[in-house]
Amino acid sequence: MDFPQFFLDFFGNRLLIAVIASIHVFINHPLAVGAYPLITLLEWWGRRTNNPAWDNLAYRITFVLFIVTTTVGALTGVGIWFTTALIAPFGIGSLLRVFFWAWFTEWLVFISEVVLIMIYYLTWKRWAEGALKKLHLGFGLFLSVFSWFTMVIIVAILGFMMDPGSWPVTKTFISAVANPLYLPQLAFRTTYAMMLAGLLAWFLIFFFTKKGSDFRHRAVHFAATWSLAWAVPFIPAALWYWKQAPETMLANINVALLTQRFMNWHETLAVIMLATVGVIILVTVIGITRPRLIPGVVLLIPFVLGIWLLGHFERAREFIRKPYVIADYIYSNGVRVEEMPVFQRDGILPYATFVKHHSITATNKIEAGKDVFLVTCSRCHTTSGINNIVSKFNNLYGPEPWDETVLKAFISTMHVTRTFMPPFPGNDKEAEAMIAYFKELQNNRQLIYDAQARWSPRAINGDQTTGNP
């Protein structure tokens, strides 16, 4: 098995993937999946009412979509492939083997979507009348379908990672696609994307219409009606999705929504999130009934709140399936569940490819311990940056030199007390080597702190509180 030693120590491997993936979702849902049906509807409404203002508004919003989706959206989409292949080749490799034809189809759909985006935007002014306008609306309809179809495919894969259903037994493509979370998550993401698209259009209306004009008020009413119409099915879809999530994963929700440090606040955060949904719905109702009462700055608030909620959802979805990448099949460090007994008996280093040491001796113990850490822990932890291992143990056992026996007992049972962590996939000798590496990190960290204290301005000036002359 292959375990590349790519290790982004300060930022963290998992955070790198999370940031790129979240930006991609922030663009994909409201700007691609949700926005193009709304834009096509705006264009059609302008043609039906013979009002060019609607058509012009749709065209100007499409310009924003065209620029953002074909630049940042495309780059982050490629970035997801690059980072997952670099950091977690075991997980992406397993998913590719299961969903090869689905991903192949998705790439064909994606290429078609890009072509349709270019045709739709670049022909807007040329195909402005008669039969050509009908053809242009047809391209908008096709673009809307193709944009949503990418979500149809990808959501099957995301649902599979949370609950593979009968696939571990059948090992068939159909059983992988028909996982228990596929339809609930598709309903949730589709309705949320459509609702966010209306909030995005609402925000852009502030820039593309005249202040106080009657058309701005009608446009606000239109966008608010669209968002509220999709908010109605969004709520039962969200509840459906929640009910289908495995109970073992929901047990992680208090950490998934926040962090370990603030896990006791999850109920407060849940109330805040529900209140946020309430605020969004309230503002959209006002936008429908009293659009003239909505000041320009308020047009931004619902969209920002919607993106904030989407970010929390993505964090929770990624975290609650821990300690797995694919539930009950492969752990977050790339070890398959069925491989664990072998590694715990023989050790993981003899089977790892990209490591410096395949066995542990008295002379290489610390370096071999580093190899063990990189193979088993570095997907989630760093040594000196975000979620670093030294701070974690300092929080548990204090800054005094750690006791090897205590650390070894913790490592052997950490998956019991912290259910979001996988079991240690190594033998006792490797655990001892990794502990030696951790203590070396602690010593080095203390040397750095001592040096900083010794050369601080207060110490140099003879401040008595430092204890140095």
80-123: per-residue pLDDT in tens? 888 888 888 888 889 999 999 999 999 899 889 889 999 999 99
Residue 454 has pLDDT above 60, yes or no: no
CA-only gyration radius of the chain, Å: 26
Beta strands (DSSP E) in 286-393 are 324-326, 330-331
pLDDT of residue 1: 41
Peptide bond into 323 cis (omega under 30): yes
Residue 469 has pLDDT above 70, yes or no: no
pLDDT band for position 451 (50/70/90)? Answer: low
Residue 234 has pLDDT above 50, yes or no: yes
Q: What phi, psi does 386 have (nearest 5°)?
A: -70, 135
CATH level 3 topology of 13-168+179-331 = Formate dehydrogenase/DMSO reductase fold (1.20.1630)
Residue 7 has pLDDT above 90, yes or no: no
pLDDT of residue 320: 83
Q: List b or e across 214-226, with b for residues whose CB sees 16 or more CB atoms inside 10 angstroms.
A: eebbbbbbbbbeb
pLDDT of residue 457: 53
- Give the residue-averaged pLDDT of 57-67: 95
pLDDT band for position 72 (50/70/90)? Answer: very high
- Mean of the per-residue pLDDT values of the chain: 86
Residue 467 has pLDDT above 70, yes or no: no
In terms of phi and psi (left: phi > 0; alpha: psi -120 to 50; beta: otherwise), the region of 130 is left
Name 374's bridge partners: none
- Give the residue-averaged pLDDT of 321-342: 91
CA separation for the pair 163, 161 (Å, rounded):
6
Helices (H), 245-298: 247-250, 253-257, 266-289
pLDDT band for position 265 (50/70/90)? Answer: low
More confident residue, 457 or 235: 235
Tell me which residue of 145, 165, 62, 155 sits closest to 103, measured CA to CA: 155
* CATH no., domain 346-455: 1.10.760
Residue 456 has pLDDT above 90, yes or no: no
CA separation for the pair 41, 310 (Å, rounded):
25
DSSP state of 180: T
| CA 413 to mean position of chain CA atoms | 29
pLDDT digits (tens, 9 = 90+) for 421-441: 999 999 999 999 999 999 999
pLDDT of residue 449: 54
More confident residue, 75 or 86: 75
pLDDT of residue 293: 74
Going from N- to C-terminal start, the domains of the chain cover 13-168+179-331, 346-455
pLDDT of residue 395: 87
pLDDT digits (tens, 9 = 90+) for 335-347: 999 999 999 999 9
Residue 75 has pLDDT above 60, yes or no: yes
Residue 267 has pLDDT above 80, yes or no: no
pLDDT of residue 379: 85
pLDDT digits (tens, 9 = 90+) for 154-197: 999 999 999 999 999 999 999 999 999 999 999 999 999 999 99
Share of the chain above pLDDT 70, in %: 88
pLDDT of residue 446: 65
More confident residue, 184 or 277: 184
- Give the residue-averaged pLDDT of 199-214: 88
